[in-house]
Amino acid sequence: IPMGILSCVKYLMFIFNVLVFAGGTCLSGVGVWVAADPAGFQDIVASKAVLSAGAYLLLAAGIALSLLGFLGCCGALRRSRPLLLA
């Protein structure tokens, strides 16, 4: 396989993982916002138990995606197979 293709794949993986990291960070931000200010979302969701559970679910999913994206970025830059598989 030519080196140019491997370099392109490396940078494409890095960009994809940056996007995953950014999405996870945004999801965490929305989760924190909903958990901190549930009054703004009472019109959307009537039940407060569902709202608080959804906020913590968004927060957990956002943190998991951020961690996954960060490890993927490190793995893509270092060409580390274990980090990419994590």
Q: Among 7-11, 19-23, 47-51, 80-84, name the one with the lowest average pLDDT.
A: 47-51
Distance CA 38, CA 44 (A): 10
Full-prediction pTM beyond 0.85?
no
Question: Which residue matches tokens 């407060």?
Answer: 48
Q: Are 81 and 71 in contact (CB under 8 A)?
A: no
Average pLDDT, whole number, for the chain? Answer: 83
pLDDT digits (tens, 9 = 90+) for 28-58: 998 888 888 767 766 665 556 666 777 888 8
Distance CA 59, CA 29 (A): 7
Task: Output the pLDDT for position 44.
Answer: 63
Task: Output the pLDDT for position 10.
Answer: 85
Domains in the chain: boundaries = 23-78
Distance CA 19, CA 70 (A): 10
User: Helices (DSSP H) in 1-86: which residue ranges?
Assistant: 3-36, 48-78, 81-85
